[in-house]
Every structure is written in structure tokens, then in C-alpha cells.
A and B are shown apart, each in its own frame.
Chain A
Amino acid sequence: MSLRTVLTRVYTFSAAHRLHSRHLDEGANRQVYDKCNNLYGHGHDYTLEVSVAGNPHPLTGFVLPLRDLDQAVHKILARLDYRYLDKEVEYFTSVISTGENIIGYLWDELQRQLPPNMLYHLKLWETNNNYFEIGKEL
């Protein structure tokens, strides 16, 4: 048996969105998404916990230098921070900006930014009371 080491760093970003499906009529959208369907949108302070797994480097002691992790995450979050997701982020012009879809997007984008096999888990808090998770051991 060996020890697993996973490093987690917590980030925040703020964004507006509106949950609305083009496959549903106005009444059904209202019914499914309730107040999240508000015509002009609404916003959240999102909190994102990014976990990377690996053995600490023998010389530096880091699983991944924080600077590298910060750089990769900030690059992706800069696209979302202080935006209206559905209108200002291309991906979400055709994908509904639910927490599920946002975390899926972040997983794919971060995979591309980080060294292979490092990204281990993401936890996205939409409010203090609901969060979404995606990861290798889920």
C-alpha cells in the first residue's frame, strides 16, 4: 500500500447566468428552472476547489508548483469571471449554464491546461448550500 497525496487549492469567480432551455416553451422553462429562469438572469459567487494528485517532487516538495496551478486555473476562470455566461462565454451560448455543465466545462478545460494525469477532482460551489463534484474516483 502506498500513500496518496492530493493538493487542493480554492478559487472564486463571480458570474451571471440564466437557466433556460430552447427545447422547452416559456411555461415549461418557468416550471423546470423556477427563479433561475428569471428573464434578465441572476448571479453567484462561485467557489471552485481544484485538486491535483501526484507525489511531491523530491527537490521542491510540491505535487505541482502553486504558481503553475494558479496560472492554469486563472486562465480558464478569467473567461467566466464577471461575465454573463449564456451570452459572453461561447461554450454556454449553446449549453445550459447549470452547475453540472459548468463543472464539466471546467474539467475539460483544466485537463488541457494541466500536466497529463494531474487533475484529480473538482468541487464547484454555486451557493453555500449546493455544490457539484467531478473526479477520478467518483
Chain B
Amino acid sequence: MKNITISKKFEFSASHRYWRDEWCEEENRRYFGNSTGPYGHGHNYELHVTVLGNIDPKTGMIINLTELKKYVNDVLESFDHKFLNLDTPYFKDKQPTTENLALVLFDLIAKKLKTLQGIALYKLRLYEKRDLYVDVWQDKS
């Protein structure tokens, strides 16, 4: 049977800042540009969550979207309207770049969905802006 995926789009808004303590201000600014501002800056992130699974013959669905929405929103709640560097525990030792944020979200959402049988998180696409996005997925090799 063919693999089928279902995707749902989510939005959240958060601020962040790129900064390395080991570097002086000038070096940080040279490397991270205007993303080093001491109080952070923000984005309206857009997250596409793609789930892979078999179609349940009783419902005709891979996953009930209401259920998916609940699981993902449970995760996003601690990111929405937060300062990623200080309000979440994930970026103490790494920069809250789009790449790292996508990896953190993949991990958290994959764990949530593990409780559902026959469902697997297949892919995330995280837009920081319309012209910048990151895809994360499980490499089968």
C-alpha cells in the first residue's frame, strides 16, 4: 500500500537572540549581525507537522486532526509568546536558530505522538519568515 501523510499548519510567536558568551560583543555582532540585540527580537513562526501512518478503516483517517492539534499545541504552548533563550530550557548551550528550534520541536512532538499507535512524526517544516525555513525528518539510512 502507498504511504500517505497528513500535514497540519501551526503558528506561534516568539523572540530570540543569538549570542555566545565566549565571544566579545564585536565578534558576536560580526557573526550574528542584528540578531545579537541584548533584549532579543521576534518572529511569527509557522510550523508544518507531517504525520505518517495507516488509514484507520473505521474512520478513514490517519489521525484525527483535532487530536493532532491538541498534541502539537501542548508542545507549542511553552514556546508561544516566550523569549526562547530564557523562557525555555532548550537553548542554554546552543543557539535558538531555526535549525536548532526545528530539531527541538521534532524531538518533543515525536515523543508526544509516540503514545498513539501506528502514528509517526514524519517531517517538520519550520518557517522563521517567508523566505527562510528548515525541514527536519528521520533519515532512514
**Chain B residues closer than 8 Å to A60, beta-carbon distance:** 18, 20, 31-32, 95, 97
Stretch of B3-11, B51-59, B62-70, B130-138 contacting A (4+ beta carbons < 8 Å): B130-138
Report whether A4 and B99 are in contact in the complex, using a CB–CB cutoff of 8 Å: no
- Chain A contact-residue range equals 20 to 34
CA distance A82 to B131 in the complex (A): 21
Tell me the nearest residue of chain A to B20, going by C-beta. A59
Report whether B31 and A1 are in contact in the complex, using a CB–CB cutoff of 8 Å: no
Is B77 at the interface (CB under 8 A from chain A)?
no
**Chain A residues closer than 8 Å to B139, beta-carbon distance:** 1-4
- Chain B contact-residue range equals 20 to 34
* Highest count of chain B CB atoms <10 Å: which of A5, A9, A10, A63: A5
Report whether A61 and B97 are in contact in the complex, using a CB–CB cutoff of 8 Å: yes
Residues of A in contact with B (beta carbons under 8 Å apart): 1-11, 51, 56, 58-63, 65-67
Residues of B in contact with A (beta carbons under 8 Å apart): 18, 20, 31-33, 94-100, 102-103, 106, 130-140
29 contacts between A and B (CB under 8 A): A1-B139, A1-B140, A3-B106, A4-B137, A5-B135, A6-B134, A7-B99, A7-B132, A7-B133, A8-B132, A8-B133, A9-B131, A9-B132, A10-B130, A10-B131, A11-B131, A51-B135, A56-B97, A60-B20, A60-B31, A60-B32, A61-B18, A61-B94, A61-B97, A61-B100, A62-B97, A62-B99, A63-B134, A65-B31
